[in-house]
Structures are given as C-alpha cells and as structure tokens.
Chain A
Amino acid sequence: MRSSAARLEQTGSPLGVAVAVLLHAVVIVATLFSLQQHTLDIADEMPMVPVDLVTIAPKTNVMAMAKQQPVSPPKEEPVQAPTPEPAPPTPSAAQEESAPPDASAGPAPQKAVPQIVPKTKPVQDQKKDKFDVNNILALLDKRAPSASSAPNARAANRNVKGFGEQTAMTADLSTALSSQVQQCWSPPVGAPDPRKLVVDFDLFLKQDGSIAQPPQLVGNSAAAAASDPYVRAAADAARRAIYTCAPYKLPADRYSQWSEINPFHFDPRQMMGQ
C-alpha cells in the first residue's frame, strides 16, 4: 500500500485527487456525527402530537350511534317488579352430561401453547467426514466427474487478505452469534400474522464485538416497517435484541469474517408453531 502511494506521489496530481477525496470523506463523516449528536440533545425537534380530549362524562360517552337509537319509537316498558326465579336455564354452559365423548385430547392444557424455551440452534455443519481408508477409491470415483471444479475449491489461500478469505468456514460464527442474540430477543409473538414478524438487518461490528453503527433494516423489511405497525414492532424488538446482547463474543482473529452481518435474519415463526 505504502509503495503504491509512493508511486502515486511521483505523478503529482492523482495524489492531490486522492487526498481531496479523503478530506471530503472526513468532513462528511464529521458532519454526520456532529448532526446526530446535536439532534439528540434537542428534544424539541421531535414533535409531540397534541391530542385534545374534550370533557368526558365519568360514566359514558355520547356517540353518534346513540342518537340514532330513538329512530324506532321504543315501547316504553317500565321496569317490572322483580321476581327472582330459581333454576335458571343458563343457556351457555349448562347442559352437563357425564358421558365422556370422544377422548383424544388429554388434560394437558399447556401442550399446545407455542414453545418458548430458548434452544440453541443445532450445529449442522460440524459433521466431519470420516476418512475411511477402505473407501478411498469410492470417494475418488464420486469426485471424478467434477474434478475440473475441485482445484478451485481447494486453491483458496487463507493467508491472502481480501475476498475468499475463510468464507467457507463461517457456519460456527453464525451459530455463535445467533445463540448469543436469541437470549435477548423477545419477538411480539401474539401478533395475528407471524409472516409479518420476519425482519432482516445489516449490522457492522467493531473488533471488540460492540456495535459499530446502528443496525439498518434491509430488503422488504425497511419499507414494510414504515407502513405496518406489526412489522415496525417486530423490527424494534430485533433491534433491541441486537443492542442489548452486545458486545458479542466472537473470535477476534477472524474479525474479517464477522465485521458485517447481512442479512441478520430474525424469524419467530418456529416459536409461534408455524
């Protein structure tokens, strides 16, 4: 990097351009931060919606519908003398018979309630192929047809920085992060349509596992959250989980693999028995 900069120095003007670009970037970032700081301090910029509550009668309220009631001249039946009568034929739950009907549902009332006990996501990708010396030929045979693509898969050099770096070995990181954040995630599971509660975030983390910048909704979630209160509640719940469980404990030497999480996918449908 340093050598390329040195080379650029010799050319003169391109360096000027690069420096200008850098300085501009610094100014923009600084402005953003200072603006954000500023707005937080001034609560007046966050408007309050005034709600004018007119005088409310202590007992009830007068509604338009009530005025429509007298349309039909009510047959004024004065309250008659109260005469209680025994043996009320309670309409709803009265008829009791002891003959047990079809008995399939046992007295385990809580059974059907959606399971909420947090479970660690099973690690599927940990299965290692057992190396069987006797089977080595069969293994080779199977690989033969796709032999042309095999060298590519094996050639990635893990010491080279940049893309391709350990990308195939991130399943354990996903599981680790998922199991940490789920302790803090309390999705609004009583909502009528569980499909609305699925949200995706883009999150940048610092090397110490803390949050580098506020998580952003991505994909369909962003637009849906703006218009649907259920999606917004689901997005808020996921965002709170991301914040509350931070900083995350992840291997520092593999930071380049978890510096960005996208999509950070929250889906409570399993919890709701869907």
Chain B
Amino acid sequence: MKTVAFAFALLIGFAGQAFAALQVDVNQGNVQPLPIAIPDFGGDAASGANIARIVRADLERSGLFKPLDPKSFIEQIKNVNAAPTFANWRVINAQGLVTGQTTMQPDGRLRVDFRLWDVYGESQMLGLQYFTEPENWRRIAHLVSDAIYERITGEKGYFDTRIVFISEGGPAKNRRKKLAVMDEDGANPIFLTKGDYLVLTPRFNPTAQMIAYMSYIAGKPRVYLFDLESGRQEMLGNFPNMTFSPRFSPDGNKVAMTLENGGNSDIYVMDLRTRAYTRLTTDPAIDTSPSFSPDGRQITFESDRGGSQQVYVMNADGSNQHRISFGGGRNGTPVWSPRGDMIAFTKQDRGIFHIGVMRPDGGGERIISNGWEDEGPTWAPNGRVLMYSRTLQGGRGSQIWSVDVTGRNERRVLTPGDASDPAWSPLIQ
C-alpha cells in the first residue's frame, strides 16, 4: 500500500512539473545573415582553396549568409571525415561550418567531398561527394553553394546558373549592343554577337540551351532563336511586320510573343515543333510582354486597353483576360515567378521606374528596388531573387542589379562594361 502511495506521489510530482511548463510565443525576430565558417578545402588537389573561395563569395552574395574571415579560425580542418571541435567554432560565433576536401582520382577525375555542420546542435546537416573533370571545379563550387543554400533556406539554390544580357559599349551616339552570356557570379562572360545590329530582350529557354531575342538583323525588329551549342541563329516565323518580346513556355515547346500589325500589337503563341501560331489577344490597344505561369496554364501581359499601361492575366488559350494591377501609376513588363506565388513588374510612377512584386491576383503589391530608373525584372529559378536593368541618372550608363524578393540585399551585378536587359537561366542540369 505504501509502495502504491509512493508511486502515486512520484506520478503527481511529474504531472506537476509538466503542468508548470512555461509557454513562450516569439513573433519578432532579427533577420541577419547566417554566420558560417568555410575553411579552404584540404586534400591533394590545388583547387581546394579556389572552391572554398567561390563558395564563400556565392553565399555572401545571396545576403543570407555571412562567411567569416578565415583568419579568425582557430581550428585547422585536416580531415573531412572527422567531426570538428565545435567549441572552437562557437568561439568565433560561427553557426554553420563547411569542411571539405578535394582529391584527384586514379582515372584523372576530381573528387570533392564536403560536409555542412550545425555548430550549436553539434551535428552534420549535409554530406555530399562530387566527381567531375578537373576543369569543372568552378561549377562544383557553385553546386556546393547550391546544396548549402538549399539545406539552410529550404529553397533550391541558384548559383549554378547563367545570365544572358545585352552588353553595351562605344560612344553615346553609336552604342554597340551585343548579346552576351555569363555565369551568375559574373565569371566567364561570352559575347554571342558582334554588335553590328541592335539586340534586345533576350530570354533563355527552360533547358538554358536556347535564347530567344529581338534583333534588327534584317532591318526590321524580329524574334530570333540562338542555339548556344551550335552558335546558330534563326528567325522565328516569317511575319510581314515586326515581332518582339518573346518568352518561352515552361515546357520549352512554345514561344509567346508580340506581333505588330498596322499599329496594333497583339500576343501570339507559336508552337516550336509545328511553327503554327495562335492569336491570343484581339484588343485594338497595345498588348505585349507575355510571360507564362510556371504551370503553363496562364499568361500575364501588359496592355493599355484601359487607358494606361497595366498588368493583366489571361488563360493560356486567351480566355478570361482581366486586369490585376491597381496599385497606382503605370505597370508593365510582368514576369511570373518560377515559384508561382508572385508576378514581378516595372512600375512607372511620377517619372520614376521601380521594380515591384504582387500576387497573381493583384494583391500584396510591394516595391522592392530603390533606383531612379529600374526596369525589366527577371527571376532566379528559385523565385527568390530578381535581377533588372538600372539606368543611371543623367545618361551615365546602365547596369544590372539584383535584389531579394523581400526587398533586402540590393546590389550591383558585375558585368564587363555597361549592361542591360538581363534574363536568368533555369538551373543547369
């Protein structure tokens, strides 16, 4: 009996303790980049230090990470397969730690191992191993960055991507505009055209292998396709009048674009396999800048049918056309986020051009860029970051800038010379 009483008393004691648990609600935070330590990767291949340097730069550029200065590290990572002494990394306030090593395989391939550690939780968050040709070390670095970014943020990374843009050079009266491609971090810029004719609005297809753009090659503005692998370009359709503002469908099989006819611009869709085209808008106003939703079922576009340039949405067959931008000013160049949750656009209000985002139903409008003339947004493939053209006041040239969808981390993208009209590639696979 006494034993039962004792057990009961114990039970009551536990129940009492559980009952006393304190409830705490945390509703406000302090958004800061994550302090992360990324020592040079060890091993017998020389690329270890280079890979770590690129990973640090990638993560820093995202604005979501703060790579710590390697000079502050008090522990030397010698073996990627041994757990680090976490206390040594807590001392320097690192919350994440990346250890890695590179080795040359007997078959001549480069092997890169890395682990991401939770310094406070003292556990491994991620461990990956890559095999590739040694020349691809830079791409491997971007893939490592993508993997870390995805594990920490829950979203796919975007570092292993490319940007197509218009590179501008020469005197103000005779600007030469060339079609150019570079890696997302500005490395490996390549000029695809020589600048003998004007090129505008380049766009990647979903495999990042083909670029659609508008050019004045034959004297009239027309949409062309450029195959990156073969270097070949071809005119898309043989229309009597000008075609412009091309954009691929998410499956890559169609291109939506604008055809001008007798002063009336309308949106058409061309099937790339059959070259058959369908007219989607018939309004006498200017309808242009089509962009597909990621599921391919809807298209957002701009139109001045209501008296001023505004953003509209319609079904992919042209039905149910309705205006969604009601936030004031003129709004154009809409681009649907690859994530599907937002449409980015250019807002022109009182002579100033800003980049904004809103939901596909027109709600939740926010302005996220700070320039004097920012226009032509393009989304990173994860729908988290935007790039756009910025024209400097007083005709001092044009630049490419990027900003997080939250409006934070606005920064210039390094380009060779002046640049405009960026378009982000999908993730390279």
Q: A residues touching B (Cβ–Cβ < 8 Å)?
A: 4, 7-8, 11, 14, 17-18, 40-44, 46-63, 65-66, 68-69, 71-72, 74-77, 79-80, 82-85, 88-93, 95-96, 98, 100-105, 107, 109-114, 116, 118-121, 162-165, 167, 170, 173-174, 177-178, 181-193, 202, 214, 228-234, 236, 238-241, 243-244, 256-271
Which 7 pairs of residues, A with B, have the shortest CB-CB distance?
Answer: A163-B16, A233-B154, A243-B120, A82-B196, A113-B407, A82-B197, A185-B29
> A interface, by DSSP: helix, strand, loop or mixed?
loop
User: What distance in Å separates the Cβ of A136 from its nearest Cβ neighbour in chain B?
Assistant: 34
Known pairs A50-B128, A91-B244 / 17 extra A-B pairs, C-beta < 8 Å: A8-B2, A46-B124, A65-B206, A71-B273, A91-B265, A112-B367, A162-B12, A174-B23, A186-B31, A190-B405, A191-B155, A240-B95, A244-B95, A257-B22, A259-B17, A261-B23, A265-B25
User: What distance in Å separates the Cβ of B156 from its nearest Cβ neighbour in chain A?
Assistant: 9
Please, which residue of chain B has its CB at the minimum distance from the CB of A211? B120
Are A46 and B115 also in contact (CB < 8 A) when A118-B28, A191-B154, A270-B28 are? Answer: yes
Cβ 8 A contact of B219, one of A83, A95, A191: A83
Chain B residues with CB under 8 Å of A271's CB are 27-29, 31
Distance in angstroms between the alpha carbons of A267 and B26 in the assembled complex: 6
Within 8 A of A (CB), among B257-309: 258, 260, 265, 272-275, 286, 288-289, 302, 304, 308-309
Chain B residues with CB under 8 Å of A185's CB are 26, 29-30
Within 8 A of A (CB), among B404-429: 404-408, 428-429
The interface stretch among B39-47, B50-58, B226-234, B316-324 is: B226-234
Chain B residues with CB under 8 Å of A261's CB are 21-24
Please, which residue of chain B has its CB at the minimum distance from the CB of A71? B273
Q: Bin chain B's interface residue count.
A: 35 or more
Chain B residues with CB under 8 Å of A162's CB are 12-13, 16
Chain B residues with CB under 8 Å of A269's CB are 27
Chain A residues with CB under 8 Å of B6's CB are 4, 8, 14, 18
CB atoms of A265 and B129 under 8 A apart? no
Distance in angstroms between the alpha carbons of A260 and B150 in the assembled complex: 32
**16 A–B pairs (Cβ distance < 8 Å), ordered by A:** A8-B3, A43-B82, A44-B81, A48-B129, A53-B132, A56-B136, A60-B208, A77-B234, A89-B244, A91-B201, A92-B376, A105-B327, A112-B365, A178-B26, A190-B405, A259-B20
Chain B residues with CB under 8 Å of A178's CB are 24-27
Chain B 321-343 per-residue mask, 1 if CB under 8 angstroms from chain A, else 0: 00000011110110000010100
Distance in angstroms between the alpha carbons of A48 and B327 in the assembled complex: 50
User: What distance in Å separates the Cβ of B407 from its nearest Cβ neighbour in chain A?
Assistant: 4
Distance in angstroms between the alpha carbons of A140 and B2 in the assembled complex: 46
CB atoms of B245 and A48 under 8 A apart? no
CB atoms of A40 and B339 under 8 A apart? no
CB atoms of A182 and B122 under 8 A apart? no
The answer to whether B383 has its CB under 8 Å from any CB of chain A is yes
CB atoms of A60 and B274 under 8 A apart? no
CB atoms of B26 and A264 under 8 A apart? yes
